[in-house]
Chain A
Amino acid sequence: MHRFLRLSVLLIGLFVATGSHAAETAPALTTADDLGPQVEQPIEFPHDRHAGDASKGGMQINCMYCHTYARRSASSGIPPLQKCIGCHQNIESVKDKPRIKKLFEYWEAKKPVPWKKVHDLPDYVRFSHERHVQRFVFQQGRPVQEACGYCHGDVKNMTVARRSKPLSMGWCADCHQKDHPVDGAAAAKTAKGPNDCWQCHK
């Protein structure tokens, strides 16, 4: 009899433990096409000013000029501070602006800017930027802003980036079921995105 007692005590303990655990964690991802949280960054980086259309006062800089790792690696990383300074040390007109002043403060202290992650995926998902940029930009020749925008939204009209796509599995799979044909030798292979679990879940 005392064996059952012991078992129930263990089980109750376990439910209590998981219950309290559930209360602490964030709610699960939704599949709704909603916006992610507004993220406060150390410097309010104006994507619109850098990448936006010329007609709206933007400089139309290619995304990959700063986000140089996206086409080379699974992780897009964040541009090193030296990239910002490389241009801004020669742009006298904005040097006194508070954001640029702050930028140079980091540079002089040789401290990296503590940027916060805006697009996070669960730890069990392995997304490769390289694979997607190679297919859509270099093999299909799509405009860079369009290709990046599939997942990142209309960044060129944002200041600080904000998640605008759900980045859920259903949303990913939806696109993977479509054909994305390319010319040449690779065309013989399937033009759909991979459908195997292990491609993303390793």
Chain B
Amino acid sequence: MIENGMNRRDFLKVLGWGGAAVALTGCGNTSVEDGKELITSYVEATDYMIPSIGVYFNSTCAQCDAGCGIMGRVREGRVLKLEGNADSVINHGKMCALGQAGVQAHYNPDRVRDPLLRSGSKGEAITWEKALGLINEKLGGAKGDEIAFLTGGMSGHTKALLGNYLEALGGAKHYAYDVTAPAVVRAANKKAYGVEMPHLRLDKAKAIVSFGADFLGAWVSPVHFSQQYARFRKGENGQRGVLVQVESKMTLTGANADRWLAVRPGTEGVLALGVINALGAAGLYLSEDVKSLVKDYAPERVSKETGAPAEQIGKLAALLKERSPSLAIAGSAVEGYAHGSQIAAAVALLNQVLGNVGKTIEAPANVPFQQLAPAATGRAALVALNDALAAGKVKVLFTYGANPVYSASSAMKFKDNMKKAAFKVAFAHYLDETALEADLVLPLDSALEDWGTFVPAYAGDVAQLGVQQPLMEKLHANTRGAGDILLALLKQKEADKYKGFEDYYAYLRTAVVQNKAALGGAGADDDTFWGETLSKGLVKFGAAGGSLSGKVSAADVALPAAAAADAQFPLTLIPYVTPNQRDGRHANQPWLQEAPDPLTTVVWDSWVEIHPKKAAELGIVEGDIVEVTSKHGSIKAQAYVFPGIHPEAVSVPMGYGHEAMGRYAKDVGANVLSILDPVADKVTGETALNETRVKIAKAGKRVIVVKEEGAAGGKQMGKKIAVRVSTDKVDLSEEV
């Protein structure tokens, strides 16, 4: 944010003068360095290594759990740019901004370079032998169930190796934690369809109604869904699919929808039942129990509770009835509320009533090796770990790929509870908030230096094992891969079993080659199969799954009455998962800070989205620093007045407000996760993200919001490029 003290004209003046002054002396990079710079020189070179000509190597993206296939352009021994791997069934050669920033995770100047042992408040660089020896020593004093391993999303052979290690430690517990994980959705899907992540056929659907699933932005596997969405939009026989997005805060998907239905936070389930009711009224067959469930959800009542216009409910029902098969997707609304599981059940019931199960909701491909399948991440895992820590049941704590000191709500007092563990080991890329609390920090290879395998979080119709391989030499001599560390630790416990594997690469190669028959390499020579696997960067395996089992019945849906108004904290806080920042693990990659948020175009800072009506009521204008206060603390950020949010809600993006982690992440914005109320979904126990009630107040200061666009809903440079029409004036049936 630019302080208001200096106006834009002054700023331009200085820039103008500055430009002239610089031109007189030349820019920094014009100097010719004859005899100073070294030429890239090789000892031995292969035919394809030609200076200035890039060679591409395949690997797998590790920026999120979607598991997209990537290829890196390598020139003069350095990886320069990442592209999508066209062979991958997840991303078919495409990539997102998050993936592109993978090179900045690799070249990041703030990476940890040596094992660090706590010495007072400082970290002292030690050798790996000493570090691993120390872990062994500390583990000696702890029983199996006193050892905890907290990770983020994990899959493939690293996860299998971790499983073996936990077993070797005598049953140490694995907590798989991810704030943004669709944990409630998975549990609800398991109940309704018999699988955690069914194969959603967006391409087959003729109409989609999404309950807050930002599948084009940040939900589960956005690159994959974007491509399906493109086919859905093109449509068979020229019929373009219609997307209706139901949510309280506009996401990227909501912005792309034909109709965006703003509902009062937490009433998505009511709307789903209202649509079922309207479908019944329009003549769709409903079983008796469903009929009795939805009989009270007449359009007038639903409209009153949700705030959506009554005629829109009828229009939505008519659309879904006419356009079959359709698809209803339960997304972040389900993760948001204490009755999230009920919302998911209502959405599943809508699918069932519409006959979508088996048509647009199919069984996913089977992953034959369950030990490789992605760990079921969630927020309940952190709550469980926090309880164990608070009770003093954890003596040794490992963390890998998770940053709970940053992402846990202050109400959980995680930082204090973590201190109760006698020895804390952090596997770390950066000295983030959690690593700073650890006793021992183990520096990790970057994703572009490491070996590994990934099973995508969302399988689709073909299961795929993504192979991650180094794209270049390690930048720092003293970092190690997570797999290598786990293998070294396993050797301490079961030396005989693992002595045949010199390093993690040897383990990985053996594990993959041993199962080549199941991985589509039956009959192939070991070296050929392995060579081909590395060259392709992935192996496809597993056939399409069978049919779906499971069923949701009317009895599974019991929506609570609308929450009473809270006079002290009148607004609902919606922590927003942005496509760039997600849960904040990539905050130290400057491209992601610099890339504008797709909806607000704000860069390098947090913001508080407030509806124009609410803002007018509170006398807030864009750029006012506002204080957002919940029962568990408060944060300050710049106000962004935005029509794409329900007037009774405010939204703040996740991922900002780091106190550590590196030069690009530290002190940028405010951490919304720190003030969340610890409310859990009643069925799954997963922390409900949108259950926090807040009040907002001006904090007195005003700044210029640094963003790409003019004021939201502005004058379009005086030209009427797109006419503004309020959503209830639009008749979709005439438009599409």
Inter-subunit contact A18/B51 (CB<8 Å):
no
Interface positions, chain A 76-118, Cβ under 8 Å from B, are 76-78, 80-82, 106-107, 110-118
Write out, one digit per residue, whether chain B residues 17-49 have a CB within 8 A of any chain A CB (1) or not (0): 110011011101111111111111111110000
Alpha-carbon distance between A162 and B24 when the two chains are bound, in angstroms: 29
Inter-subunit contact B34/A37 (CB<8 Å):
yes
Alpha-carbon distance between A16 and B53 when the two chains are bound, in angstroms: 41
* Min CB gap A174→B, angstroms: 19
Residues of B within 8 A of A (CB): 5-6, 10, 13-14, 17-18, 21-22, 24-26, 28-45, 50-53
Q: Which residues of A contact B33 (CB under 8 A)?
A: 26, 117, 120
Alpha-carbon distance between A58 and B331 when the two chains are bound, in angstroms: 76
* Min CB gap B47→A, angstroms: 10
Q: Which residues of B contact A115 (CB under 8 A)?
A: 38-39, 41
Is A184 an interface position by the 8 A CB rule? Answer: no
Q: Which residues of B contact A110 (CB under 8 A)?
A: 43
Is A180 an interface position by the 8 A CB rule? Answer: no
Alpha-carbon distance between A9 and B36 when the two chains are bound, in angstroms: 37
Q: Which residues of A contact B26 (CB under 8 A)?
A: 22, 25, 28
* Min CB gap A93→B, angstroms: 24
Inter-subunit contact B25/A22 (CB<8 Å):
yes
Q: Which residue of B lies closest to A3 (CB)?
A: B10
User: Could you say which of A49-57, A121-129, A141-149, A151-159 contacts chain B?
Assistant: A121-129
Inter-subunit contact A29/B53 (CB<8 Å):
no
Q: Which residues of B contact A28 (CB under 8 A)?
A: 26, 30
Q: Which residue of A lies closest to B33 (CB)?
A: A120
Is A39 an interface position by the 8 A CB rule? Answer: yes
Is A172 an interface position by the 8 A CB rule? Answer: no
Additional A-B contact list (5), CB under 8 Å, known A10-B14, A69-B51: A21-B25, A78-B39, A82-B45, A113-B41, A122-B31
Alpha-carbon distance between A73 and B52 when the two chains are bound, in angstroms: 7
Q: Which residues of B contact A121 (CB under 8 A)?
A: 32
Inter-subunit contact A116/B38 (CB<8 Å):
yes
Name, among B10, B21, B41, the residue most crowded by chain A CB atoms within 10 Å (CB to CB).
Answer: B41
Interface positions, chain A 1-59, Cβ under 8 Å from B, are 3, 6-7, 10-11, 14-15, 18-19, 21-22, 25-26, 28-29, 36-40
Name, among A72, A121, A123, the residue most crowded by chain B CB atoms within 10 Å (CB to CB).
Answer: A123
Is A119 an interface position by the 8 A CB rule? Answer: yes
**Can you list 25 pairs linking A and B with CB atoms under 8 Å apart?**
A6-B5, A7-B13, A11-B17, A14-B14, A18-B25, A22-B24, A25-B26, A25-B28, A25-B30, A26-B32, A38-B35, A69-B50, A73-B52, A74-B52, A74-B53, A75-B51, A78-B39, A81-B41, A82-B43, A112-B41, A115-B38, A117-B35, A118-B35, A122-B29, A163-B34
Q: Which residues of B contact A25 (CB under 8 A)?
A: 25-26, 28, 30-31
Q: Which residues of A contact B36 (CB under 8 A)?
A: 116-117
Alpha-carbon distance between A26 and B34 when the two chains are bound, in angstroms: 11
Alpha-carbon distance between A70 and B157 when the two chains are bound, in angstroms: 44
Given known A26-B31, A80-B45, A115-B38, contact A18–B22 (CB-CB < 8 A)? yes
* Min CB gap A165→B, angstroms: 12
Alpha-carbon distance between A110 and B45 when the two chains are bound, in angstroms: 12
Q: Which residue of B lies closest to A70 (CB)?
A: B51
**8 closest A-B pairs by CB:** A77-B51, A75-B52, A39-B35, A22-B25, A80-B42, A112-B41, A80-B45, A75-B51
Q: Which residues of A contact B31 (CB under 8 A)?
A: 25-26, 122
Judged by DSSP, the binding face of A is: loop
Alpha-carbon distance between A6 and B51 when the two chains are bound, in angstroms: 50
Inter-subunit contact B52/A15 (CB<8 Å):
no
Residues of A within 8 A of B (CB): 3, 6-7, 10-11, 14-15, 18-19, 21-22, 25-26, 28-29, 36-40, 69, 72-78, 80-82, 106-107, 110-124, 163
Inter-subunit contact A80/B41 (CB<8 Å):
yes
Inter-subunit contact B22/A77 (CB<8 Å):
no
Alpha-carbon distance between A7 and B25 when the two chains are bound, in angstroms: 22
* Min CB gap A177→B, angstroms: 23
Q: Which residues of B contact A119 (CB under 8 A)?
A: 34
Inter-subunit contact B38/A11 (CB<8 Å):
no
Alpha-carbon distance between A10 and B37 when the two chains are bound, in angstroms: 35
Q: Which residues of A contact B45 (CB under 8 A)?
A: 80, 82
Alpha-carbon distance between A69 and B47 when the two chains are bound, in angstroms: 10
Q: Which residues of A contact B6 (CB under 8 A)?
A: 3, 6
Name, among B21, B29, B39, B50, the residue most crowded by chain A CB atoms within 10 Å (CB to CB).
Answer: B39
Alpha-carbon distance between A107 and B43 when the two chains are bound, in angstroms: 7
Inter-subunit contact B32/A80 (CB<8 Å):
no
Name, among B30, B36, B43, B50, the residue most crowded by chain A CB atoms within 10 Å (CB to CB).
Answer: B43
Inter-subunit contact A124/B30 (CB<8 Å):
yes
Alpha-carbon distance between A77 and B6 when the two chains are bound, in angstroms: 49
Inter-subunit contact A116/B35 (CB<8 Å):
yes
Q: Which residues of B contact A77 (CB under 8 A)?
A: 39-41, 50-52
Inter-subunit contact B34/A118 (CB<8 Å):
yes
Alpha-carbon distance between A123 and B28 when the two chains are bound, in angstroms: 10
Q: Which residue of B lies closest to A37 (CB)?
A: B35
* Min CB gap B42→A, angstroms: 4
Inter-subunit contact B32/A112 (CB<8 Å):
no
Q: Which residues of B contact A37 (CB under 8 A)?
A: 34-35
Given known A80-B43, A116-B37, A117-B39, contact A123–B25 (CB-CB < 8 A)? no
* Min CB gap B111→A, angstroms: 25
Inter-subunit contact B39/A18 (CB<8 Å):
no
Q: Which residue of B lies closest to A68 (CB)?
A: B50
Q: Which residues of A contact B39 (CB under 8 A)?
A: 77-78, 115-117
Q: Which residues of B contact A81 (CB under 8 A)?
A: 41-44
Alpha-carbon distance between A116 and B35 when the two chains are bound, in angstroms: 5
Alpha-carbon distance between A106 and B28 when the two chains are bound, in angstroms: 34
Inter-subunit contact B52/A14 (CB<8 Å):
no
Inter-subunit contact B34/A78 (CB<8 Å):
no
Inter-subunit contact A14/B21 (CB<8 Å):
yes
* Min CB gap A12→B, angstroms: 11
Alpha-carbon distance between A107 and B44 when the two chains are bound, in angstroms: 9
Q: Which residues of B contact A122 (CB under 8 A)?
A: 29-32
Q: Which residues of A contact B51 (CB under 8 A)?
A: 69, 73, 75-77
Q: Which residues of A contact B22 (CB under 8 A)?
A: 18
Alpha-carbon distance between A152 and B17 when the two chains are bound, in angstroms: 40
Alpha-carbon distance between A76 and B10 when the two chains are bound, in angstroms: 47
Inter-subunit contact B41/A120 (CB<8 Å):
no
Q: Which residue of B lies closest to A128 (CB)?
A: B52
Alpha-carbon distance between A113 and B17 when the two chains are bound, in angstroms: 45
Alpha-carbon distance between A118 and B35 when the two chains are bound, in angstroms: 5
* Min CB gap A117→B, angstroms: 4
Inter-subunit contact B50/A18 (CB<8 Å):
no
Q: Which residues of A contact B25 (CB under 8 A)?
A: 18-19, 21-22, 25
Inter-subunit contact B50/A120 (CB<8 Å):
no
Inter-subunit contact B41/A123 (CB<8 Å):
no
Q: Which residue of A lies closest to B17 (CB)?
A: A11
Alpha-carbon distance between A118 and B29 when the two chains are bound, in angstroms: 17
Inter-subunit contact B14/A11 (CB<8 Å):
yes
Q: Which residue of B lies closest to A41 (CB)?
A: B35
Q: Which residue of B lies closest to A22 (CB)?
A: B25
Q: Which residue of A lies closest to B13 (CB)?
A: A7
Q: Which residues of B contact A6 (CB under 8 A)?
A: 5-6, 10
Alpha-carbon distance between A15 and B22 when the two chains are bound, in angstroms: 9
Alpha-carbon distance between A114 and B43 when the two chains are bound, in angstroms: 11
Q: Which residue of A lies closest to B5 (CB)?
A: A6
Inter-subunit contact A80/B44 (CB<8 Å):
yes
Q: Which residue of B lies closest to A114 (CB)?
A: B38
Inter-subunit contact A111/B43 (CB<8 Å):
yes
Inter-subunit contact B44/A82 (CB<8 Å):
yes
Alpha-carbon distance between A15 and B28 when the two chains are bound, in angstroms: 15
